[in-house]
Structure 1
Amino acid sequence: MKTIPELKTRIQELSKQAVEFSRKASEVCLTDRQQAKYFRQQAREASKRTQVLIQELKRQEV
């Protein structure tokens, strides 16, 4: 199990990843639909992992 500071750091990293993938998807959506779809999928996965870690953080803080 990770410590609270490690969880917070990982949450921030994954959040940044999700935002970056989403931004990339927006940039390429008009030129390359497949690439945009891939980036959106990656953003969704990073977001889901972030939510799991947030729940873990909440459990540890209680």
Structure 2
Amino acid sequence: MELQSKIRELSSQAASLSRQALEASKVNRKRGLDLMRQARDASKNCQVLIQQFKETEVKS
């Protein structure tokens, strides 16, 4: 269950950072790019956790 909550948290964080990046890029392109990079990293981490979750479900 802990893995699922981490997945939800990272997914939410990635979406939030992406929205912030879109808004920030209108004013400050560099800040927008930085936020989008953070969103992409959070999304990648989320995908790793999803894969781990799927693997544990198969073993169960």
What band does the TM-score fall into relative to the shorter chain? over 0.9
Q: How many residues align?
A: 58
Q: Take 1:16 and 1:54, find their aligned partners in 2: how far apart are those partners?
A: 14
| TM-score relative to the length of structure 2 | 0.94
Unmatched segments (≥5 aa) in structure 1: none
CA deviation after TM superposition for structure 1 residue 31, in Å: 0.7
| TM-score relative to the length of structure 1 | 0.91
Unmatched segments (≥5 aa) in structure 2: none
CA deviation after TM superposition for structure 1 residue 10, in Å: 0.1
Over the aligned positions, Cα root-mean-square deviation in angstroms equals 0.4
Q: Which runs of 4+ in 1 moved over 3 A?
A: none
CA deviation after TM superposition for structure 1 residue 29, in Å: 0.9
